[in-house]
Structure 1
Amino acid sequence: MSALRWGQHLITAVLLLVALLRAASTTASSLWLAIAAAGLFALWYLFGFVVLRSKGSTRLPGYWLAVLVAIWALGMSASPEFMWVAFSLWLLIGHQLALGLSVVWCAAVYVLTVVAPFLHHGATTVSGVVGPLVGGTFAWGISRGYLQLERDIAERNELVSSLLRAHQEMADLQEELARSQHEAGALAERTRVAREIHDTIAQQLSSIGLHAKAALHTQQTGQATNALERIEELSGQGLSDLRRIIAAMSPSELDSQALAGALRRMLEDFEKDCEVSSELRVDVDLPVLDPGIQVALLRTAQSALANVRRHAKATRTVVSLADTGDAIRLDIVDDGIGFSLKEWQSNVGKNLESGGFGLPAMRQRLRELGGGLDIESTLGEGTALSAYVPLKNPEAGN
C-alpha cells in the first residue's frame, strides 16, 4: 500500500511538471499565473499529505480537496495544459470521497477539462472530449479499487488480530484445563492413597488395638504372649504396606500370587484375629484378572472383613469369588447382628472419625472400574456384600 501511495505522488508531480512545461511553451501572457498556480498546487498537496493526514489514516479533510480543486481551476484559467493534472485529481477524488459524492466531483472536473480549452481557443476536438472521459473513468476506477483494497487489508488485519486473540485465549484455556486436570489428578491420587491407608494400615492398627486390649485384660500369660506376637506380626505388615504406598508400588499381596491365594491368607489372618470361622469358595475356572481388578476386589474384601471384625459379632463368614460370564463377583456374607441400611445411608459421611469411610470407599473404587457394590443387611440377620467388576472395563474401551 505504501508503494501505491508513493506511485500516486510521483504521478502527480510528473503531471504537474508536464502541465507547467507545456504552459510555458504555449501561454506566454499568463505564464506567471500558471507558475503561481503550479507552486500553490504543489505546496497545498504536500501540506495535506505531510501535515493534515492523521497518522495511520489515508483520508484527508474535505476542505483540503476542495481547495486543491480550486487551485487547479485557477491553473486551468491560466492555461488549458493544466488538464493533465486532472488525472491526479480524479485519483484523489475517487479515494477520498464517498461513492456518490466522488462521481459528482469527478464529473465537475471532467466538465472543466472539456470547457477550458474551448474558452481559451474557441474550439475543441473529439480527442479533447473522449480522452478526459476515458482517463477520468480509468483513474476513478483505480482509486475505488485502491480504496476497496485498503478496506480488505484492514478487515484482514482485524481478522488476524482476532485469530491471534483467539489463539491466546485458547492457550490460556488449555493452560487452565491442564491446571484443572492436574488438580483433579492430585485429588484422585489423594483419594486413592486414603483408600489404601484405610484398607491396609488403618485395619491393621485396629487389629493391633484389639490385641493390645486383649493382652491388657487377660490374666493368662500364654494369651498375652500370643497377642503380643500377633501385634508384632501386624505391625510388620503395616510397615510393609506403608513402604509400598510411599513407593507407589502394586499391592504386596498380589506380587507373587493370585487373588484367590491372597484372599485365603487374609481369611487365615482374620480367623486368628477374631476367632470367627470362615470359608472361601472360588470358581476353579477363573480367568486371569487385570491387576487393577484384583486390587479393587482384594481391598473390598479387606475392608468388609474389618467391618465384620469390628461391628458384626458374627460366628461365621463366607467369601465367594465367582465368574458370572461378563463380570467377576466377590460376595462376603456373615451371620452377625446386621444393621439398618436406611439409617446407614442417612448417616454416610457424617462421622468419619468413628468409621463410615469403608463402604463408600469400596463403592467408589469399584465404580472407577465400571463395577459396583450391592449391600443387603437386616438387623439380627447378618450382612451380605456383593462386589462386581466387569471383565471388560468400558472406560478402557476394551
Structure 2
Amino acid sequence: MERVSGAIRIGQAGITLVLLVIAGIRAIAAETPTVAVLAMALAFGGWYAAGLLWGDRTRNPVVATWWLTGLVLIWAASVIVSAEFVWLAFPLWLLAGFILRLPWAIALSAVILAIAVAAPILHTGRTDYASVIGPLVGGVFALGMARGYVALVRDGRERRRLIASLVAAQEETAALQDELARTQRDTGAGLERTRLSRDIHDTVAQSLSSIGMIARAARAGDSAETDRALSQIEQLSHEGLVDTRRIVGALAPAELEGSALGDALRRMLARMEAETGIRAELRIDETAPALPMAAEVALLRTAQSALANVRAHARARRVVVSLADAGDAVRLDIADDGIGFDATRWQAARPRPDDSGYGLRAMRARLRELGGDLDVESTPGDGAALSASVPIAPKSAE
C-alpha cells in the first residue's frame, strides 16, 4: 500500500506540473505579462514542491491544512493574473479530498469551483455553459477519486492492524499453551514424586529402619536373641524386597520385565488358552520396530483389557492377535469369533446399565495420550475386531 501511495503522489505531482506548464504557456499566449505569469507559476510550483519535501502530508493534519490553504490562496492570486490558471483547480480538488475531512473537503471544493467559474467573468465579463459544467464535472470526479483512495488506504491500514492483532493473539495463545503444558508436566511430575516418596517411606524406608534397630539391639544380646533378630531381619528384608518390586511394577508392567512386547503377548495368550480353552493365535510382523516403554505398556494394557472382554463376554472359540508394522505406527489387532456387540453404542457419553464400554473408552484415552487411537468394529452375532495403534515415536504421556 505504501508503494501504491508513493506512485499516486508522484503521478499527482506530474499532473500538477503538466497543468502548470500548460496554464503558463496559454497565459503568455493570451498576452498576459510574462513576469507576472512566471512569478505566479514559480510561487505555486515552489509552494507545492515544499509540501512534497515535507513528506507524507496526511500524517500531519495541521501542517497539511495550512499548506493546502496557502496553495489555494496562491492559486486564487494566479487566477486573478490570468484565467488560464483555472487549469490548476483539478489538483487542488484532489488535494482537498486527500487531506481534509469530508465536510471540509466539500466546502473547500465548492470554493475552488466558485473561483474557477468566476474567473472567465472576471477577465472577459462573460461565461458559458462549458465554463461551468467542465469545472463542476472535474471537481466531482477529482474529489470522488481522492475520497475513494483515502477509503482504500484506511481499509488497508485497518487490515494490517487486524492481521498484527491476530498474529499477536496467536503468539500469546501459543505461549499460554506452552505454559499450560509446562504446568501440567510439573504438576504430574510432582504428584508422581509425592506418590513414590510416600510409598518408599511407608514401606522400604520403614523396613530398613526396623532392620537397623533390630541389628543394634541384637549386638548387645545373647546368641538366642541374635538368632531371633536375624530371623526378623530376614523377614523384614523380604518384605522390603516385595514392596520395592511392587513400586517398580507400578512404573513398568512385570509382564514386560526382561522381554519384548511380542513375548509378553505370547505368554498372555498361552495362559488364556490353557485356562479357558479358547484357541489363540499370535501373528507378529518381523519388521515391526521396537517401541518406547510407554507405547509397549499402552499396547500391552490394551491387549489385557481386550482379552479380558473376550473371556468374560464374547463366548468365542478362537481369537487372533496381530502385531504389525503400519509405516509410521505399530498396530495391534485383536479379532474374535464371538457373539459380538453393537459397536455404535460403546462411545455413548452415559454408561449402559451393565457398565460395558468403560474399558474401551479407557483404552482409547490411554492410546490418544501417546498420539495413537483405537478403532472397534463389531455387530451382534458376528464377532468383534479391535485395532489399536501408536506412533513409532509417540508423544510423552504427561
Same fold (TM over 0.5): yes
**Shift of residue 227 of structure 1?**
3.5
1:1-398 equivalent positions in 2, closer than 5 A: 1-26=5-30, 28-51=31-54, 57=60, 60-205=63-208, 208=211, 212=215, 215=218, 221=224, 224-225=226-227, 227-232=229-234, 234-235=236-237, 238=240, 249-250=251-252, 392=359
**Shift of residue 79 of structure 1?**
1.7
CA contact (8 A) 1:87 1:136 kept: yes
In the alignment, residue 114 of structure 1 is paired with which amino acid? V
**Shift of residue 43 of structure 1?**
0.7
In the alignment, residue 91 of structure 1 is paired with which amino acid? L
**Shift of residue 184 of structure 1?**
0.8
In the alignment, residue 229 of structure 2 is paired with which amino acid? A
Q: Residues 159 and 135 from structure 1, CA distance in 2 versus in 1: closer, same or farther, beyond 3 angstroms? A: same
Q: Which ranges in structure 2 are unaligned for 5 or more consecutive residues?
A: 259-274, 277-296, 299-311, 313-356, 366-398
CA contact (8 A) 2:58 2:99 kept: no
Give the corresponding residue for 2:265.
Answer: none
**Shift of residue 157 of structure 1?**
2.5
**Shift of residue 180 of structure 1?**
1.3
In the alignment, residue 154 of structure 1 is paired with which amino acid? R
Number of equivalenced pairs: 271
CA contact (8 A) 1:53 1:60 kept: no
Deviation digits for residues 87-141 of structure 1 (CA, Å, limit 9, x no counterpart): 0000011221222221121111111111112222233222221111111000000
CA contact (8 A) 2:94 2:145 kept: yes
In the alignment, residue 164 of structure 1 is paired with which amino acid? V
Give the corresponding residue for 2:382.
Answer: none
Larger Rg: 1
Percent of counterpart pairs with the same letter?
A: 43
Distance 1:45 1:167 in 2: 45
Distance 2:51 2:167 in 1: 35
TM-score (normalizing by structure 1): 0.57
Q: Residues 2 and 58 from structure 1, CA distance in 2 versus in 1: closer, same or farther, beyond 3 angstroms? A: farther
Q: Which ranges in structure 1 are unaligned for 5 or more consecutive residues?
A: 257-283, 286-290, 293-324, 326-389
CA contact (8 A) 1:91 1:142 kept: yes
Distance 1:254 1:201 in 2: 23
Deviation digits for residues 2-36 of structure 1 (CA, Å, limit 9, x no counterpart): 2222222222112112211222222x233321211
Q: Residues 104 and 251 from structure 1, CA distance in 2 versus in 1: closer, same or farther, beyond 3 angstroms? A: closer
Q: Residues 252 and 87 from structure 1, CA distance in 2 versus in 1: closer, same or farther, beyond 3 angstroms? A: same
Distance 2:238 2:155 in 1: 78
SS of the residue 1:29 aligns to: coil
Q: Residues 60 and 208 from structure 1, CA distance in 2 versus in 1: closer, same or farther, beyond 3 angstroms? A: same
CA contact (8 A) 1:117 1:124 kept: yes
Give the corresponding residue for 2:308.
Answer: none
**Shift of residue 250 of structure 1?**
2.8
SS of the residue 2:127 aligns to: coil
**Shift of residue 161 of structure 1?**
2.7
In the alignment, residue 6 of structure 1 is paired with which amino acid? I
Distance 1:18 1:247 in 2: 97
Q: Residues 254 and 48 from structure 1, CA distance in 2 versus in 1: closer, same or farther, beyond 3 angstroms? A: closer
Deviation digits for residues 310-329 of structure 1 (CA, Å, limit 9, x no counterpart): xxxxxxxxxxxxxxx9xxxx
Cα RMSD after superposing both structures: 4.0
Distance 2:221 2:131 in 1: 132
CA contact (8 A) 1:60 1:96 kept: no
